[in-house]
Amino acid sequence: MESLIALLRDESSTVRQEAANALGAVFWRDRSASRRGAHHAAKALAQYLDEHPDDCHYFTLTALGATGDRVAKPVLETAAQVPEERLRKAAERGLANLSR
């Protein structure tokens, strides 16, 4: 998981986006085992959103929700207010996943 988190800081937006997608997949596949790194991953994903606002963040928002970590909630609540429907829906889905 650490290598994926490190890739969120890569020069390439494509690499960063794929890393966010892969992190989400880790949390979806093994929700109990992956909780050990959830807080660290959620903080890194939130930082990635903040530092790279021009990247497409659909997978980042989905991954944030998949972590189930409390750090994700305010970030997802803010993203649920954006005008772009695709991102808004991803944030809403992420918020729903936090309550599972």
pLDDT tens per residue across span 17-36: 999 999 999 988 876 655 67
**Residue 67: closest CA among 86, 48, 83:** 48
CB 82 within 8 A of CB 91: yes
Please give the distance of CA 87 from its chain centroid, rounded to a whole number.
12
Q: Which pLDDT belongs to residue 31? A: 65
| Below-50 pLDDT ranges, the chain | none
* 74: containing domain: 2-98
Q: Judge if pTM exceeds 0.95.
A: no
Q: Which pLDDT belongs to residue 1? A: 87
Q: Which pLDDT belongs to residue 22? A: 95
How many structural domains are present in the chain? 1
Q: Which pLDDT belongs to residue 56? A: 87
3-state helix vs strand vs coil in the chain, percent to 5: 75, 0, 25
